[in-house]
């Protein structure tokens, strides 16, 4: 059975609008009523707080003034004679009961220098102390000659918060010859207790504040006594009162409590009386009424909502049914059938227009599916960004190339994938020319590393020629670049190798050819001694060639793993090498010092043995005529990681030769033994493990130190996590 709509749909809109206005008016009425009540109660609370603050300020002024007057009266009875006789002055003070009742700590007399000379009750440790520098009340009385209430402070003898008062003592000529002061201990019963002891209301409190020191003198809350005020801006009432603008205001405390505060100043000192009441207490009646009105409003809203829902359900059922069908169309692999008409004039008009739209959308969807399938499965990178540089599409290949999944990059800025110095130049080229020709571009991986791609780009515009998107295509050329670098390195090494080999092998060949000619002449002349000499020279030349060829063979094998990689302690490898070279070390009486090394290397043991042996042999060979030859071997921890060294006190190396010694066939002394390939072999071993090697020497006769690092040999230790690795080094 079809549900008939209302005759005129405008009625539905009018009904909904009226209901909306009703609900809005109801909530606005509740809001305005609450705000008006809050304002009125705020004013009442502020007036009550102001009255309480004024009354308390007047009472405190009277109490302080009475104490100052008592001190002035007593000071008027003290003349020059008593000031000159501390014992008599002490006795005179002890006979004054009124001062004892006014001051619960002490009454103290000081001379013109501020030195204590008499006090009650008598404490010897107070006598002889300079109070001018410690208590500003005495300083003001002595320097300015006026009675005053000083800044609160912690007592020397009591260790408790005190309020000092002081008046000047004058001679017959009116000159200030001393001062008489009293102190009130805030932790003992005092007149403040009667004023602030009960607090204000149920949860409010009083506070007496010193404007000059920005501190709480005393309060009905003990935890606030002698505490500093919050920074300016936290309590606006106190901030303005300190500047002379007294009044009331609502603010949020540092503890996050909404409060009402009022401040009023005293006449006798620079203090303020502050009264604080939490808003929760002040507005308790308003909050109770607000809760009841909110409950009533919610009930009315619920009732009206139920009625409205029932009416709309009956009138909008056709639209709801149509929306459900449209919702199912958004599911994956769901077809887009033509929607059926419902009999509702407005709804059927909408469905007819939507059916025409569906046809066009289905055609575009098929086209989009084909594009996404091709792009998502391509073996090259494809990405599209909007004009703000936010990625709207990136295929799986391109995202994975940067270490991401496509979903992680959608909506993010393309700058996270580019080097900053290349992004602007590439963008400018695309905006200027509309396209970017294929070029090599370095990209950023998720781990921070860089890799090369061959990239091209195009600026996509709409029908009006306005730029809409940036599209880029990229091909990974990491392997190609690595191959190019490796090939260039091999070509450079081969070129150097061919040049050096052709040069160094030429010398023994010339020697052989020369002495073969001489051998022919000696055979023809039957000179047996010459024949033996010629043969000996030829043998030496062939031995030299054999040594060169063997060294070149060892050098060419570096970089290949000739045995199963092992993890070995560095100290053990050094000890094994020293055993092999024990004869040479003993023969030249070389002292060897090996530092404690807990490091381990992982790699080809043959490489490690050749490295240590060549460095130590080099140190032995170039020890010179050192009377006490010495070799030191060890390791150091530096910012760049572990470095190892072999140090000797031999002939040293001049600065201009310190790089050349690592070249093939480089021998600084042409008459020395060896092939000149030892340090070149060491350099190649170090490079195989991603390290560097260098030599340091102050010059001739200053010894040498060969430093090297093998990061890949250290980092490649199996099963060793970062913490263990750090401990091992």
Tally of structural domains, the chain? 3
Domain boundary pick from 528, 556, 584: 556
In a domain, 390, yes or no: yes
- The band of 31, judged by pLDDT with boundaries at 50, 70 and 90, is confident
**568 shares its domain with 547:** no
pTM of the model: 0.38
Domain of residue 431, CATH code: 3.30.450.20
Of the candidate ranges 4-18, 99-113, 479-493, the one whose mean pLDDT is the lowest: 4-18
Domain that holds residue 494: 482-556
Together in a domain, 534 and 670: no
Residue 78 falls within a domain, yes or no? no
- Whether the pLDDT of residue 645 is over 90: the answer is yes
Are 655 and 605 part of one and the same domain? yes
Question: CA dist 723 to 11, 544, 616, 718, 726, Å?
Answer: 76, 50, 32, 14, 5
DSSP string, 414-462: GGGGB-HHHHHHHHHHHHHHSEEEEEEEEEE-TTS-EEEEEEEEEEEE-
Amino acid 570: pLDDT: 92
Q: Left (φ > 0), alpha (ψ -120 to 50) or beta: where does 718 sit?
A: beta
Asked whether residue 552 falls in the same domain as residue 516, the answer is yes
Provide the CATH number for the domain around residue 488. 1.10.287
Each residue of 230-275: pLDDT tens digit? Answer: 777 777 777 787 777 777 777 776 666 777 788 888 777 878 888 8
For residue range 104-156, list pLDDT tens digits in order: 888 999 999 999 999 998 888 888 899 998 898 899 999 999 999 888 888 76
666 and 724, same structural domain? yes
- Which pLDDT score is estimated for 723? 41
Q: Is residue 547 part of a domain?
A: yes
**Per-residue pLDDT for 456 more than 80?**
yes
Average pLDDT (188-217) is 75
Of 501, 527, 556, which marks where a domain is finished? 556
Is the per-residue pLDDT at 185 higher than 80? yes
Rounded distance, CA 293 to CA 33, Å?
10
Question: Do 603 and 528 lie in a common domain?
Answer: no
Whether 510 is covered by a domain: the verdict is yes
Q: Is residue 419 part of a domain?
A: yes
Per-residue pLDDT band for 614 (boundaries 50, 70, 90) equals confident
DSSP 231: P
> Torsions phi, psi of 169, nearest 5?
-110, 125
Highest-confidence segment of 14-23, 110-119, 185-194, 557-566: 110-119
Q: For residue 569, what pLDDT band results from cuts at 50, 70 and 90? A: very high
In this structure, the answer to whether residues 453 and 591 fall within a common structural domain is no
Strand, coil or helix: 322: helix
Q: Yes or no: say if 634 and 595 are a contact pair by the CB < 8 Å rule.
A: yes
Residues 568 and 633 in one domain: yes
Tell me which DSSP letter residue 265 carries: E
Whether residue 273 is contained in a domain is answered as no
Nearest residue to 112 (alpha-carbon basis) of 130, 96, 91: 130
Domain boundary among 556, 580, 609: 556
Retrieve residue 178's tokens.
């001393």
Does residue 447 share a domain with residue 397?
yes
Q: Are residues 465 and 490 in the same domain?
A: no
183 vs 46: which has the higher pLDDT: 183
Please write the tens of the pLDDT for every residue from 199-209. 777 777 778 88
Answer yes or no: are the C-beta atoms of 161 and 151 closer than 8 Å.
no
Query: In this structure, are residues 209 and 229 in contact, taking their beta carbons and an 8 Å threshold?
Result: yes
Q: How high is the mean pLDDT of the chain?
A: 78
Residue with tokens 């090369």: 452
**494 domain residue, yes or no:** yes
Position 2 confidence tier, pLDDT thresholds 50, 70, 90 = very low
Please report, for residues 44, 326, 336, 369, the alpha-carbon distance to residue 365 in angstroms, rounded to integers and kept in the order given: 69, 16, 11, 6
Residues 587 and 514 in one domain: no
**Higher pLDDT, residue 311 or 634:** 634
Question: In this structure, are strands 630-638 and 591-594 parallel, antiparallel, or unpaired?
Answer: parallel
Asked if residue 572 is part of any domain, the answer here is: yes
608 and 703 both lie in a single domain: yes
Whether 152 contacts 207, CB under 8 Å? no
The residues that bridge with 634 in the sheet, in sequence order, are 645
């Amino acid at each position: 059975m079809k549900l008939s709509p209302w005759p005129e749909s405008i009625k539905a809109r009018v009904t909904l609008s009226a209901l909306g206005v009703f609900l809005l008016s109801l909530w606005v009425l509740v809001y305005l009523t609450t705000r008006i009540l809050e304002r009125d109660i705020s004013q009442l609370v502020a007036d009550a707080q102001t009255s309480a603050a004024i009354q308390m300020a007047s009472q405190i002024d009277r109490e302080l003034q009475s104490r100052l007057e008592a001190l002035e009266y007593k000071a008027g009875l003290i003349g020059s004679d008593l000031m000159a006789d501390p014992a008599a002055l002490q006795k005179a003070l002890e006979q004054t009961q009124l001062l004892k009742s006014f001051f619960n700590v002490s009454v103290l007399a000081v001379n013109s220098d501020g030195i204590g000379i008499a006090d009650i009750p008598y404490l010897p440790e107070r006598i002889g102390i300079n109070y001018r520098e410690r208590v500003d009340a005495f300083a003001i009385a002595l320097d300015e000659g006026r009675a005053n209430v000083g800044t609160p402070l912690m007592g020397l003898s009591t260790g408790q918060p005190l309020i000092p008062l002081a008046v000047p003592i004058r001679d017959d000529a009116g000159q200030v010859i001393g001062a008489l002061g009293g102190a009130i201990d805030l932790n003992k019963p005092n007149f403040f207790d009667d004023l602030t002891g009960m607090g204000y209301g149920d949860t409010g409190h009083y506070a007496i504040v010193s404007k000059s020191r920005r501190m709480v003198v005393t309060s009905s809350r003990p935890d606030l006594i002698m505490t500093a005020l919050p920074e300016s801006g936290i309590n606006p009432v106190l901030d303005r009162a300190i500047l002379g603008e007294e009044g009331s205001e609502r603010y949020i405390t540092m503890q996050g409590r909404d409060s009402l505060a009022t401040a009023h100043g005293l006449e006798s000192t620079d203090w303020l009386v502050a009264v604080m009441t939490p808003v929760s207490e002040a507005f308790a009646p308003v909050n109770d009424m607000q809760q009841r009105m909110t409950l009533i409003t919610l009930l009315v809203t619920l009732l009206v909502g139920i009625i409205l829902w029932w009416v709309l359900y009956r009138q909008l059922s056709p639209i709801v049914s149509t929306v459900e069908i449209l919702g199912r169309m958004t599911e994956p692999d769901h077809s887009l059938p033509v929607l059926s008409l419902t009999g509702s004039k407005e709804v059927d008009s909408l469905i007819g227009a939507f059916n025409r739209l569906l046809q066009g959308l289905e055609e575009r969807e098929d086209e989009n599916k084909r594009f996404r399938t091709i792009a998502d499965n391509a073996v090259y990178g494809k990405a599209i960004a909007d004009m703000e540089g936010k990625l709207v599409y990136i295929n799986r290949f391109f995202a994975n190339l940067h270490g991401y999944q496509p979903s992680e990059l959608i909506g993010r800025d393309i700058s996270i994938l580019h080097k900053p110095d290349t992004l602007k130049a590439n963008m400018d080229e695309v905006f200027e020319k509309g396209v970017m020709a294929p070029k090599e571009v370095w990209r950023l991986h998720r781990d921070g590393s860089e890799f090369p791609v061959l990239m091209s780009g195009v600026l996509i515009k709409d029908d009006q020629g306005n730029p809409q998107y940036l599209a880029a295509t990229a091909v990974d050329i990491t392997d190609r670049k690595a191959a190019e670098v490796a090939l260039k390195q091999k070509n450079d090494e081969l070129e150097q190798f061919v040049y050096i080999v052709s040069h160094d092998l030429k010398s023994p060949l010339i020697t052989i050819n020369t002495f073969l000619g001489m051998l022919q002449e000696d055979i023809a002349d039957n000179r047996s001694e010459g024949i033996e000499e010629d043969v000996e020279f030829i043998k030496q030349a062939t031995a030299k060639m054999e040594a060169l060829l063997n060294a070149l063979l060892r050098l060419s094998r570096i970089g290949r793993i000739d045995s199963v990689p092992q993890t070995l302690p560095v100290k053990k490898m050094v000890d094994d090498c020293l055993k092999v070279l024990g004869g040479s070390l003993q023969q030249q009486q070389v002292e060897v010092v090996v530092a404690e090394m807990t490091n381990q290397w992982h790699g080809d043991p043959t490489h490690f043995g050749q490295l240590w042996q060549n460095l130590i042999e080099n140190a032995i060979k170039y020890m010179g005529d050192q009377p006490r030859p010495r070799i030191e071997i060890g390791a150091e921890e530096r910012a760049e990681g572990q470095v190892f060294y072999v140090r000797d006190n031999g002939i040293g190396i001049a600065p201009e030769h310190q790089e050349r010694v690592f070249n093939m066939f480089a021998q600084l002394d042409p008459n020395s033994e060896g092939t000149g390939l030892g340090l070149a072999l060491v350099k190649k071993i170090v490079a195989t493990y991603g390290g560097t090697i260098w030599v340091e020497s102050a010059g001739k006769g200053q010894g040498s130190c060969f430093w090297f690092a093998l990061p890949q040999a250290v980092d490649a230790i199996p099963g060793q996590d970062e913490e263990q690795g750090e401990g091992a080094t």
